[in-house]
Amino acid sequence: MDEDLQTIISFLETVHPYDSLSQDERARVARSFGYRTFPAGRTIYAAGSTLDGLFLIHEGAVEIIDTLGDIVSLLGPRNSFGERGLMRDGLAATTARATQDTVVLLLPVTEFRRLFDEEAAFRRFFQRGRVAEARVAEITTQKVGDLMTRGPITVPHDLSVREAARLMRDRHVSCLGVTEAGRFAGLVTTRDLTNRVLAEGLSADVPVTQIMTRDPVTLAPTALGSDVLHQMLERRIGHLPVIEGGTLVGIVTQTDLTRYQAVSSAQFVRDAAMAETVGQLAAITARIPRLVAQLVGAHHAHEVVTRLTTDIADTVTRRLIALAERDLGPAPVPYLWLACGSQGRQEQSSVSDQDNCMILDDAATPDDMTYFAALARCVSDGLDACGYVYCPGDMMATNPRWCQPLSVWREYFTGWINRPDPTAQMLASVMFDLRPIDGDTSLFQTLQQETLEKASHNTIFVAHMVANSLKHAPPLGLLRGIATIRSGEHKNHIDMKHNGVVPVTDLGRVYALLGRLGAVNTRARLEAAEAAGVISPSGARDLIDAYDLIARTRLEHQARQIRQGQKPNNYLSLSDLSDFERSHLRDAFVVVRTMQSSVGHSRGAMS
């Protein structure tokens, strides 16, 4: 096979949606691609010109410029461009220009349209126009404080060029801040080392002040992403220092902007699906907090953020199962891996502990249990290595109690319903949030429906579940003010999990039980409960609005912590909120308390 053709095929195997094509189809597509090279600064095409095809970056970087001259996107390897024009009238809607020496692959128009018509995955990928446009809007409206790389490295003004170069090499950075008398004075970059030292034949012993850019253009953390793009375009620079109070607090580079646009849940899912080791999966999940902060900063709804985050956990779990089966061999009987807790409800705000179980086909023998114990251990250990730590309550498939044939699971649920003691209530609450992740879903479908039917008709069990849902109360004090934690490490804070979202989660579970609703996600349960008449339209809308505010406030708090380099938690200080925000949060808590009282009265009527 031609070496260039094999290079293209190997590259396409790492690029979505080409990686979803069959091997023969991918080889055919590879033959239709052509190479084009563009030096830095060269226009690839101008707005209004006829497009020759779809461009795919192999090496280098490309900036996309709108008709007003504003940069709307900075693209790197594996990014495509030109599809919007191809899907409309064949004319370029924007201008594309190489910012570095760039190599692109060009897919001819006819081949693009054939793939668009014949390949569903290809069509879905390039029909994401609204999403792409939204991401452009995201970067231009983001605060610089959310885009910048924090903790920039600074050096004294008398440091030698040689030592500066070594520091940049060892710390894997492309620039250093230079200080004089403790204040930011200038910037030195790897390009300065090339253009001002090597090219000019300067000694490596000269101080960095001799080659640095003194008093470079800077921005404040409160500036917008559009300010960064405009400055980089106008001044043709690749690094922008971020200054606050005369101190260098961050750097924004073209790489940061490219990386920002590359951070998407789809990219995480794709990378996780292709991972070959637990270490590779752990490297992916380590980036989830940054994704959460970015999604929150772009003002996505809380249910979108948590759904996208959970999708990554699901993919990681499925990949770990596949890797385990690769090592252990195929399962002896059909089985189903399920998640419960926040992953089951698709409400993960970041990496959290794991809650899972397995349902096995009733044909499983005692000897088969050895295989499933090994499978559970491989997956659970892998999840722990990826940051989904072991469940403190041992609600995991590694616990033999939670790795059983379907008939045993039926006995579990029947026993909890018929004998609703406190332990049964707790277990039922967890298990009502089960959601299939991988395997034979038929093992769960009938079990779920059977359980909902039995449970909803047992008024004593329902009453106990209602009582259990009232154990977590919103943080309301006297006169309906917001009550904070009185002592300990989190004194004067609100627990936005156990006193914020959990009370609504518990209510949603009760409504699903009362209405025999199959939804597991809290917001979906509330909407389904309204549609089924379990709660009134006005009560449902009030509770959904309250839940949205509480969940969004929690996510915004965690995103702030992530941006500040802290580990996110659920403890919010009222001092972080304005009077306006506190007032609305208090109103949301009042709504939750009111709905709890309503459910409590229903419980009294049952008993």
Per-residue three-class SS string for 257-306: HHHHHHCCHHHHHHHHHHCCCHHHHHHHHCCHHHHHHHHHHCCCCHHHHH
- The tokens of 352 are what? 């959290």
Torsion of CA 80, 81, 83, 84, to 10 degrees: 140
Domain covering 3-128, topology: Jelly Rolls (2.60.120)
Which CATH superfamily, name and number, covers 144-251?
A: CBS-domain (3.10.580.10)
pLDDT per residue as tens digits for the range 310-349: 989 999 999 999 999 999 999 999 999 999 999 999 999 8
What is the pLDDT at residue 133? 42
- The tokens of 349 are what? 């705000």
Q: In the chain, what are the domain boundaries?
A: 3-128, 144-251, 263-457, 468-606
Residue with tokens 């002896």: 332
Residue with tokens 């001259």: 69
Residue with tokens 């109070």: 245
Rounded Cα–Cα distance for residues 389 and 387 (Å) = 5
| Domain 263-457, second-level architecture | 2-Layer Sandwich (3.30)
Smallest CA-to-CA distance from 113 within 135, 133, 132, 85 is with: 85
Counting as low any pLDDT under 70, the low residues of the chain are 1, 67-68, 70-73, 127-141, 258-264, 266, 351, 478-480, 602-607
What is the pLDDT at residue 362? 96
Residue with tokens 């490295």: 153
What is the pLDDT at residue 258? 65
| Domain 468-606, second-level architecture | Up-down Bundle (1.20)
Smallest CA-to-CA distance from 296 within 96, 583, 558 is with: 558
What is the pLDDT at residue 70? 61
Based on DSSP, count helices (H) and strands (E) in the chain, helices before strands. 25, 21
**Strand 335-339's sheet: what is its strand order?**
403-405, 356-360, 335-339, 435-439
Pairing status of strand 571-573 against strand 149-150: unpaired
Does an H or E element contain 338, and which?
strand 335-339
Smallest CA-to-CA distance from 292 within 351, 223, 252, 251 is with: 351
Residue with tokens 């995991």: 396
Rounded Cα–Cα distance for residues 511 and 513 (Å) = 5
